[in-house]
Amino acid sequence: MPDTYHGWVAHDATSPLTFTTFQPKPFTETDVEVKVSHCGICGTDIHTLRSGWGPSDYPCVVGHEIVGTVVRIGDGVPTLASSPASREIRVGDRVGVGAQSMSCLRPDCEACADGQESYCTRMTGTYNGRYADKSKSYGGFATLWRGPAHFVCKIPDAIPSAEAAPLLCGGVTVFAPLRKYGAGKGKSVGIVGIGGLGHMGILFAKALGCDRVVAISRSSSKRKDAVEGLGADAFIATDEDKNWAKTYSRKLDLIICTVSSQNMPLSGYLRLLKTDGTFVQVGAPEQPLPPLRAFSLIQKGVKVTGSNIGSPEDIRQMLKLAAEKRVLPWIQKRPMADVNAALVDMHEGKARYRYVLYNDLGSSKL
């Protein structure tokens, strides 16, 4: 296996990515190496490439919705103490990696010991992060990916690789809070922002059996897709319907907000919650959220919280549900060589609803 990789490298916050070499982490006995067939483009890639949340660690290779074939396994993987599921990984398997590629995995870490790796204070993101040995983490806009087997999950046969990719970050980011906060029979759920995460939020809320799923978007341009295609029971266009917050007041038990900009009518969203309802912010704007009047919280005892991706076990459970209920994201496939144009289109909100880059792997059946 080469010790120099090829991929689409960002050198600063503004220049296009260039296809060039980079140095992956040193291969260790608990790592696997994956030939990348597909990688989704997540909103986080855009924030990171332009240093939107703070300076990124260039050179940087983004992409954390990675699917491919295992081409190498470390000697310690078949007996990996931290993850029985990862012990099953074999060369030739179709696997995926999401937005996290490492955490401390120590028994005295409350988050890791509790299976909540995405809340470990020493978590390593799949890109723009550092492993314990200080080597950099590099993502999936590349031909190969290498990293800890603990964070690699097998893809069920029923899910094609291109559709599997967006599930690994976007999918689990909405699935985990939906399940944690009780989305299911008897519940009405709102999904705000019908983009990559949001459209999967509608699909998973329906798959979990919610009574009513309400899509909340800025305009009505996505109404038809949301209601007729994704299965939403109602649609709110917040920039068009002046009275939306009043009309739909106290109708929802749970809201998952995927909005990536700080320009959002947050108090209006909270009005949609019933008493004791829960609002979960998963979108990560680069600026602070809008201010809130205390009465937005006081008058109904609502809870406002956030959620960070999902654990490897969350990913496995989500993939199982997706395979059983055929929850497949709506994707548009683009060759990885078109990555710069795809990033521009993603930034302009043109994706319907997730771009998935693919590598031309010749005769591979992936």
Ligand X SMILES: NC(=O)c1ccc[n+]([C@@H]2O[C@H](COP(=O)([O-])OP(=O)(O)OC[C@H]3O[C@@H](n4cnc5c(N)ncnc54)[C@H](OP(=O)(O)O)[C@@H]3O)[C@@H](O)[C@H]2O)c1
Any idea how long the chain is?
366
With CB under 6 A as the contact rule, the residue among 104, 158, 284, 321 that binds ligand X is: 284
Region near ligand X per CB under 6 A, out of 182-190, 214-222, 292-300, 313-321: 214-222
Pick the stretch among 16-24, 105-113, 140-148, 347-355 that binds Zn ion (CB under 5 A): 105-113
CB-nearer residue toward ligand X: 7 or 310? 310
* Residues 65 and 166: beta-carbon distance below 8 Å: yes
What single-letter DSSP state applies at residue 336?
G
| Cα gap 170→78, rounded to integer Å | 29
218 binds ligand X (CB under 6 A): yes
**Closest C-alpha among 260, 267, 256 to residue 292:** 267
Is 261 an interacting residue with respect to ligand X (CB under 6 A)?
yes
Could you tell me whether strands 66-73 and 31-40 are parallel, antiparallel, or unpaired per DSSP bridges?
antiparallel
Question: Would you list the DSSP string of 269-315?
Answer: HHHTEEEEEEEEE----SSPPPP--HHHHHTTT-EEEE-----HHHH
120 binds, among Zn ion, ligand X, none (CB under 5 to 8 A by kind): Zn ion
112 binds, among Zn ion, ligand X, none (CB under 5 to 8 A by kind): Zn ion
Dist. CA 164–CA 187, nearest whole Å: 27
| Shortest reach from residue 301's CB to ligand X, in Å | 24
Tokens of 275: 């008493």
Sign of CA dihedral 117, 122, 126, 128: positive
Indicate the SS3 state at residue 263. coil
Binding mask 165-194 for Zn ion (x = CB under 5 A): ----x-------------------------
The verdict on 44 binding ligand X (CB under 6 A) reads: yes
Stretches 14-22, 132-140, 179-187, 278-286: which one binds ligand X (CB under 6 A)? 278-286
User: What x/- string results for residues 144 through 173 when contact with ligand X is judged by CB under 6 A?
Assistant: -------------------------xx--x
Residue closer to Zn ion by CB (options 214, 327) is 327
